[in-house]
Amino acid sequence: MTLEIGFIGLGDQGAPMATAIAEAGFPLHVWARRPASLTAVADVPHTAHDTVAELAAAVDVAALCVSEDQDVLGLLDGGLLAGLRPGSVVVNHGTGVPSAATRMAELCAEHEAGFLDVPVSGGHAGAVTRTLTAMIGGPAELADRCAPVFASFSAHVHHLGEVGSGQLAKLFNNTLMMMNQANVEEVLAVAAALDVDLPGLVAVLKNGSAGSFTLSALGDAITAGNVEHLSRVELVDMDLFAAAMAERHAPAAAVTARAIAGAEGLVDLVRRLEK
């Protein structure tokens, strides 16, 4: 049986994910708070619904790709849970804290539905090229059932354990990326003091043994036009990481501080490369 997939959150990352799902042959159902957002899937077969509850009643899997845990909880309470069919699955593709994922799973269970937290890494570019990395937290049976859907937009799909483990992996992923940014920022600051050709050096580092995602993203995924926004998003992610570590009493103060430094220095790094 082909799964009927609902998708809510047709933004920068969600729209190409939803498009990939439809192009993989899954019947796609969508709902958007703003009707104009539906133009993002205009080129693929889909069914638009007037309410969240109507979408929920029509699908086997309801995927949410919205900004914050509170947005997901708002959708669950705003008609999604009430409309779900018993045995259906709610999937949260957003980034949040593991404890919120646990609460979402509990709410779904009260309505005889399953839940998976499946944040993804790779951003808009990865969603467009269908090379995202999907990190699954939740029951293995549900992960296996939904894996073909995740594979439609991901190059790598990893099941990491119980509910919340996907979110935990995403937070560690984001934190290490920002720590790497701090390394790049410090090395290039030293190079700038020596009047080294920074764009030329970056080109060398990208292709050398020092290469990393952080370096590769400079001038590509990270540009002068979006760097301030990205820096703010990274700092929000670090708030989530800090909260998750505090819940578990993890000794993460030094790691958190290093990652925050990387996020805060990103704007200056891009500006330095433009000079």
Q: Taking the domains of the chain in order of start, what are their residue ranges?
A: 5-162, 168-274
Question: Can you give the pLDDT at residue 245?
Answer: 98
The DSSP bridge partners found for residue 158 are: 135
**Is the confidence at residue 88, as pLDDT, over 80?**
yes
Question: Can you give the pLDDT at residue 220?
Answer: 86
Average pLDDT, whole number, for the chain?
A: 96
Question: Can you give the pLDDT at residue 201?
Answer: 96
Mean pLDDT value across residues 233-237: 96
pTM equals: 0.94
Judge: domain 168-274, CATH 1.10.1040.
yes
Going by pLDDT thresholds of 50, 70 and 90, the confidence category of residue 8 is: very high
Q: Which long-range contacts (CB under 8 A, 24 or more apart) does 154-157 make?
A: 154/120, 154/130, 155/130, 155/131, 156/132, 157/133
**Is the confidence at residue 275, as pLDDT, over 80?**
no
Burial of 220 (0-12, 13-18, 19+ CB in 10 A): exposed
Going by pLDDT thresholds of 50, 70 and 90, the confidence category of residue 89 is: very high
Contact 34, 13 (CB under 8 A): no
Q: Residue 210, SS3?
A: coil
Going by pLDDT thresholds of 50, 70 and 90, the confidence category of residue 197 is: very high
Region 5-162: CATH code: 3.40.50.720
- Provide the b/e sequence for 11-39 (b: ≥16 CB within 10 Å): bebbbbbbbbbbeeebbbbbbbeeeebee
Going by pLDDT thresholds of 50, 70 and 90, the confidence category of residue 82 is: very high
**Is the confidence at residue 69, as pLDDT, over 90?**
yes
**Is the confidence at residue 1, as pLDDT, over 80?**
no
Going by pLDDT thresholds of 50, 70 and 90, the confidence category of residue 141 is: very high
Q: Residue 76, SS3?
A: helix
Mean pLDDT value across residues 168-197: 97
Question: Can you give the pLDDT at residue 74?
Answer: 97
